[in-house]
Amino acid sequence: MGTIKALLVGIDDYPASVASALGGCANDIAEAGRLLADLAGEQADITVLLNADATVAAVTDAVLRHLGSAGPDDTALLWFSGHGTQEAATGDDLLIEATGLNQALVCVDGPLLDKRLGALLDRVAAGGAQVTAVLDCCHSGGATREAELTQRYAPPRPEWDFGARAHGGPPRHVLLAASRLNEPSYEGWFEGRRHGAFTHALVGAVRAAGPGATCRELLAAAAARVQRAGSTQHPVLFPDLPGGAADRPLLGGAPRLRGLTASPHLLRYGADGWEVDCGAVHGLREGGAEAQGTTFAALEEGPGRGVVRAVEVSAARTLVTPVDWEPEPERVYPVALSEVALPPASVAVDGSPEDVRRLAAALGPLVRLVDGAEEALGLHFRVRVRDGRASVLRRDGTEFTAPLPFAAPADAERVADCLAHLTRWHQLRDLTPRPSLLDGLVELEITPWGSAEPLRPDASGEIVCEYGGGLRPPWVSIRLHNRSPDRTLWCVLLDLTDGYASSSELYRGHFIGPGRTGHALDGDPVRLSLPASQAVVPGAEARDWLKLIVADRELSTVPFQLPAWHAATGRRILGPVLGAAGRWTAVTVPLRTLVPEPVSGPDA
């Protein structure tokens, strides 16, 4: 662990002309300071700005000078406790703020726009430091729903500037926020002192887990504590993509992937008991009796770690019960799907009895072994083993991928990895939910860059984008229109490629307000091209499937991420397959990028 450069900002004593007074922010900052002192000791270099000292200029300067002095081996941590606010977005900001609202922290003399703060933190991250922001304030308005709690929201003042700001690429820092963009956060009495509900929960989660816990694990634990305390806010982690800043310890260190290489799921103790953060939208059968037979196994080694069994599956979570062990309620455990009632894919092996035995021993929960004569329904593979190589075949005998080695003991594991990867990819691509109240509310539009006319599917149902003259790849804009008159909807746009990859980079998962539009890549053009390994010659083509998932609440996007399959670097994927659930829907748009044949004839 390098030096911890921390900037702790807390404001209770707001001038009446700016916002109402609060009572727990200084306590939050004091508790955060004690936490850093206990965990980092002399390695913690802390700057504190309280009340009148926490002006916009002072906070900006401290971010640039104090946090900006963090080097490549250091951690820069901003912790803000105070009011948040919002105002209608205009101009270029509407390319980013699909809710139609700008958010800001409220310093003692006015707002610090979140996009401005994000740009400052990304500038700090450009120096090589790990940068984390903990924001315990409202990100939106709304009435206080709990009388014993105080809302950390300040109505915007007419003189405050929420004008457009420049925006860049994806964030280089990680954010642990007290609430969603469309809801308030609260402070109240905890153990005889006034605190922010999120700060109290997060500090407790860090002390229970220790300094090695990742931001993802701590956010999950803190969110469960907030629920158990009775607050209606929902803490948020952004960005949540695996392998990045979200999977680093809060106070610095290398990413911890020991759980995410096998599963993106976490077990925690919530308001209704033990739960795993996946549900029907991530592939499990919704309901109670339908959940029987589904289990998850704890991945971390340790005494008493074991299995949890599903009790009830809802759209975004699964209530579970531990089997012959007692997890600690204050901890979060990475878990992997270990058993399902009916695996979504089957495989028959064309090889020797020893080949069958080796592959059967390596298969995970997503694929079941069947006899070659058995009638297999759904997704089915045939593995043909010849001369120390295994070919993964479709029903018609064509190959899914290049042949894989099947001679050394570890080779069966690699073939099983390939089968699990292909199963996950096909289930993502072929997701077709049952009828939902959200059907048809969000429209996916693909338009050639610079044109106002959207592309339409051809007779086969595909949208075809052709290379232009001089073999120029096509550029398009992609927009998500929320046609609902009154629903704010959460959307994520997946790009599934013909290399068996799935990514949410186009639109990572955000709320879109009623009548508003979300823009892929924040409004920047999307370049469609062949893979680098494929020659750009007439007739060459590549296929993508754009999968729009719409829900009435945010979902974990980690289970939707798959790297392209490569035999040399393939890895085991144990996430559940996708299924149907209420209050969410999905739309798939096939997209083909084509290098056209040259035009021939007398008029060419």
Average pLDDT per run of 10 along the chain, which is 604 residues long?
A: 92 92 94 94 95 96 96 94 81 68 86 88 92 82 32 51 47 85 83 92 92 89 90 86 83 59 76 88 75 83 74 87 91 87 87 95 92 78 95 94 92 94 90 85 95 92 92 94 95 94 91 94 91 89 94 84 70 36 76 84 51
Specify burial of residue 373 (Cβ count, 10 A radius: 0-12, 13-18, 19+).
exposed
Cα–Cα nearest to 506, from 516, 518, 493, 525: 493
> For residues 104 and 158, what is the distance between their CA atoms, to the nearest angstrom?
14
| In contact, 215 and 266? CB cutoff 8 Å | no
Note the CATH architecture for domain 4-247. Answer: 3-Layer(aba) Sandwich (3.40)
DSSP-assigned beta bridge partners for residue 336: 297
Helix ranges (H only) for 394-475 are: 411-429
Predicted local distance difference test score (pLDDT) of residue 59: 97
| In contact, 250 and 79? CB cutoff 8 Å | no
Q: Which amino acid is at 102?
A: N
Residues 6+ apart with CB under 8 A from 522: 95, 96, 167
> For residues 490 and 240, what is the distance between their CA atoms, to the nearest angstrom?
15
Cα–Cα nearest to 562, from 332, 243, 123, 289: 243
Cα–Cα nearest to 217, from 303, 136, 277: 277
| In contact, 86 and 103? CB cutoff 8 Å | yes
Question: Looking at the domain 442-594, which fold is it?
Answer: Immunoglobulin-like (2.60.40)
> For residues 64 and 234, what is the distance between their CA atoms, to the nearest angstrom?
30
Cα–Cα nearest to 231, from 219, 239, 222: 222
Predicted local distance difference test score (pLDDT) of residue 104: 86
Backbone angles phi, psi at 54, to 5 degrees: -90, 65
> For residues 208 and 299, what is the distance between their CA atoms, to the nearest angstrom?
19
Q: Two tokens at 14?
A: 């707001």
| Helix (H), strand (E) at residue 345 | strand 345-350
Residue 514 has a CB neighbour count (10 Å cut-off) of: 15
Residue 239: asked if its preceding bond is cis (omega within 30°), the reply is yes
Cα–Cα nearest to 150, from 22, 31, 236: 22
Predicted local distance difference test score (pLDDT) of residue 578: 34
> For residues 176 and 223, what is the distance between their CA atoms, to the nearest angstrom?
10
| In contact, 11 and 22? CB cutoff 8 Å | yes
> For residues 526 and 171, what is the distance between their CA atoms, to the nearest angstrom?
18
In angstroms, the Cα distances linking 183 to 37, 62, 110, 165, 242 are 32, 28, 21, 23, 26
Pairing assessment for the beta strands 463-466 and 584-594 based on DSSP bridges: parallel
| In contact, 206 and 79? CB cutoff 8 Å | no
Predicted local distance difference test score (pLDDT) of residue 570: 44
> For residues 120 and 161, what is the distance between their CA atoms, to the nearest angstrom?
18
